[in-house]
A and B are shown apart, each in its own frame.
Chain A
Amino acid sequence: MPKDDGIGAATTRREDPRFLTGKGRYTDDINVPGQAHAFFLRSQVAHGRIASLDTTAAAASDGVIRIFTGDDFAGVGGLPCGWQVTDRHGQPMQEPPHPVLAQGKVRHVGDPIAAVVAETLDQARDAAERIDVDIEELPTVTNMQSALEDGAVRVHDDLESNLCYDWGFIEDNREAVNAAIAGAHHVTTLELVNNRLVPNAMEPRAAIGDYNVATDEHTLYTTSQNPHVIRLLMGAFVLGIPEHKLRVVAPDVGGGFGSKIYHYAEEAFCTFAAKAINRAVKWTADRSEAFITDAHGRDHVTRIDLALDENGKFLAIRTDTLANMGAYLSTFAPSIPTYLHGTLMAGNYATPLIYVNVKAVFTNTVPVDAYRGAGRPEATFQLERVIDKAARELSISPIELRRRNFIGKDQFPYATPVAVEYDTGDYHATMDKLEEIADIAGFSGRRAESAANGKLRGLGISHYIEACGIAPSALVGALGARAGLYESATVRVNATGSVSVLTGSHSHGQGHETTFPQVVADLLGIDAEQVAIVHGDTATTPMGMGTYGSRSIAVGGTAIVKALEKVIAKAKKIAAHLMEASEADVTFADGAFTIAGTDRSVAWGDVCLAAYVPHNYPIEELEPGLEETAFYDPANFTFPAGAYACEVEVDPATGEVEICAFAAADDFGNIINPMIVDGQVHGGLAQGIGQALMEHAVYDEHGQLLSGNFMDYTMPRADDLPSFVIDHSCQTPCTHNPLGVKGCGEAGAIGSPPAVVNAVIDALQSGGHDVDHIDMPLTSCRVWTAINADTGS
């Protein structure tokens, strides 16, 4: 009998009463006695030389404690980049410095020039207006193609060019891929843009630096998905503070989508300034500031060629991508278009030859880094779009063409030509499930109904794969990661049998406080209520790498399982002692230790008590207490996959796209809490649909962000979306972690954009419009323009 609060139970989220009643505790809710407030004077131009910077008048403003400029940080390290990519020619990427405060030059709108610390935020702002700064404007580069032209303005004077790297994957396959494409029966080519996005977490970033002069200890409260990583990066590489003198606390975090992985200048600034003025220093971004300082996502320009034989079998794939890095390298930026993108280019298909080229480019824009899906949506989008185009060119149904090329169920483990090995999957099963839940058979009837109302109805299919459970440390190390990607957990059993789990994962909305106890409850046979999750504080949790890349249950959850196994092993010894039995005869199930084949047993609670009150205890052989730590480094990535279908209606008179239906059949392996999985899929789909139809960070040629607020940057709202039909009953459990889980956090955002675009193209073609691609976002204006540019209709 499954436990009603164990693995597989759809228990309600434990954190919701707190969040829904305003009792969450976010970084901005924290106020340290005596804290001062920081305000950043930011560049309003995208590129310029700071000709002069005079803070004298500002420093005399009311309430000003101190004004900091780049000079104060001359002796401080820059913000480090956590991944070094090696290019096609074996050379390391170009890695420019990333100062905390601008050193002589500003390189994007929002680059911090100076920071005022004052008694109140208003005073800091008032003073910032009195800073006399003279910026000599320089020409800007925002467009990647022009940034790579000879003689282009350079974002970094010290670099040879704006090219960060020219990466080939796998370089040795390049010629074979070119040859296969040259000789193929049919080649489908598509040029496309993966639009730049602003992450827009509901909670803007914030940081409070605190310093205790008596102990020389620093505390940073920050909005982070990975406090330990921030402690390591900032302590070791920026400010030179050893770990034992630096505590990083990330309390409740209100969304991140990747943008709160990275180490940002404001965190280093507040930590540094707190010591300099010997008072806590607090900063909270306002929304406009978030738009121009949070790392953006996506921003690729790609050309993809797909070669097929006369039976529609994929022979080779070649892709060339320009990936925008922005003005500086954000923490994990170089890895996103490479190892999180190139490695996924096989998709679900048995394509023998693949070559991926990526040129990463510096521009005068906000840095770009991982955003929900990170690299995998970019891979999936181009692949699922080009397959759709090929299907149309060859008059094969898009579902059939995909099926013809799926990696078969019996082919796992399957080594792709892009260096990863899929452990398990069943793509026909997810496609079958999709056909059922999306009622693909009934589509033509629905199309006819739409036509009767003057609307063009389209159906779009996509089938994605993603690599989650990031990541085997040795592997990523070999690929240039400057960090390990294991996860940790301490299971602390209390004397009365309740449990605290101290984890290096850190929820920023995923519901770890609900799902992790379900795992513990299941394995220990106790109530989930008896389990508390402690996370987000380097002082209490073991060194862990945090939450992103759909890794928390697969890697963090496994660390918990490993720690629990150690706890159970020790508890068995104690139980054996209490029952005067041999350890080998003791079994543990449903919260009780039993001597196999007898009815003699001792309860979990009694064993826990004995561990902490060791009167009758094997003290010679066993330490008292019941607390174990495990670090788990995954053997492989996990590979969730799924089939998505989107149905749209297009109004040909206005180009307006309405999503009528969206169905998702995902294979996430085993599932801990189906309701939370539903929520993750819903959120991912909303973001993916947002990318496909609405969201766009647009820079003009002067480097001004035109869509820099919610009046112009379109976030999807509930009434823009249909009621989703989702299913996760197709389950091929992961073969290399004990829970058999794969992760579900990013899937929706990865699989949905191509489904939406494919649906719109299908709708337009059904109306006789000769349109085979429109770049995202498919705004009504873009769709109408495409219809009317098409002369074939």
Chain B
Amino acid sequence: MYSFELRQPTSIGGAVRALADGGQILGGGQTLIPTLKMRLADPGVLVSLGRVDSLLGICTDDSGRLCIGGATTHAAVAEGGGAYPALARLAGRIGDPAVRNRGTIGGSLANNDPAACYPAAVLASDAVVATNARDIAADDFFTGLFETALDDGEIITEVKFPVPASAAYAKFLQRASRFALVGVFVARFASGVRVAVTGASESGVYRWSEAETALSAEFSPSAVDSLSVAPGGMIDDLHGSPEYRAQLVRVMTSRAVAAC
């Protein structure tokens, strides 16, 4: 690790000012700190969000959305996200206890790891990612592998989740890291069903529109059986071939529906 200066502002304004000199946001450090330890980055200044009270915590807004502060840990969501049970369960199965006690929703979304869990929830729930500058719709937020619509130094302050009538996340574990080898989040709203898939595609989290159509027409586990998932563009690594991931996309979707 290269040496760095740690700033610990207590307000969003303070964080924005601290970042103005080109520092990097530090959430729970579960992704960033290992990167620094391997000397793959040298940000010079880290601006921790852990002491900004307004970024911590969970509430429900006037339109019934579950709002989670950008620096809220996975463990806090697992415990306090009961108003959206599928989301709380997702948070409770991220990584291991150490990761959940430190890692944050803002860090997870900003990082947009192609195998991360939260991006699937955000996309399937049609959530809004609020930053210090603007509100970003889920469909606009994830722009590619480890890529998001965030500008440099833009802070995720809150994530607002509409709570669906029913929802479930089916995660097939990558056994080493316990990220998702494939994870599918199915959310059923009055207006229709949204299906988001993580872990599978080379371009990151995506909506599986054929499944959405099929499930909006008939919400049953077997509704996706006849859909074909093309292995093209699926991730090929030690843990799974593209064909295998394509299979898991269908199986996990069906299991998520069954669990709704």
Interface residues of A (CB under 8 A from B): 122, 125, 129, 288, 653-656, 694, 696, 698, 706-707, 710-715, 720, 779-781, 784-785, 788
Contact = CB atoms under 8 A, between A and B. Distances in A.
B238 A694 contact: no
Contact of A653 (B39, B177, B239, B251): B251
Given A712-B238, A784-B244, A785-B244, A122 B176 contact: no
A714 B244 contact: no
B239 A781 contact: yes
Q: Is the interface of A mostly helix, strand, loop or mixed?
A: loop
Nearest to A694: B175
Contacts of B176: 694, 707, 710-715
B240 A781 contact: yes
Interface string B157-192: 000000000000000100111010100000000000
A779 B239 contact: yes
A60 B7 CA distance: 32
A654 B238 contact: no
A698 B238 contact: yes
Interface string B69-84: 0000000000000000
Interface string B55-76: 0000000000000000000000
Contacts of B38: 288
Nearest to A713: B176
B25 to A, nearest CB: 22
Contacts, number: 50
24 contacts: A125-B39, A653-B251, A654-B172, A654-B247, A654-B251, A655-B244, A656-B172, A706-B238, A707-B238, A710-B177, A711-B179, A712-B176, A713-B176, A714-B176, A715-B176, A720-B175, A780-B181, A780-B240, A781-B240, A781-B241, A784-B247, A785-B241, A785-B243, A788-B243
Contact of A714 (B1, B3, B172, B175): B175
Contacts of A696: 238
A168 B38 CA distance: 46
B226 to A, nearest CB: 15
Nearest to B254: A653
Q: Is the interface of B mostly helix, strand, loop or mixed?
A: loop
For the complex of A and B, the 4 pairs showing the least CB-CB separation, nearest first, are A714-B176, A711-B177, A781-B244, A781-B240
Interface string B221-245: 0000000000000000011110110
A781 B38 CA distance: 30
A753 to B, nearest CB: 17
A556 B183 CA distance: 52
Contacts of A654: 172, 247-248, 251
B50 to A, nearest CB: 24
A238 B135 CA distance: 66
Contacts of A713: 176
Contacts of A125: 39
A656 B255 CA distance: 14
Nearest to B175: A714
B178 to A, nearest CB: 9
Contacts of B172: 654, 656, 780
Interface string B12-47: 000000000000000000000000001100000000
A715 B177 CA distance: 10
Contacts of A714: 175-176
Contacts of B251: 653-654
Nearest to A714: B176
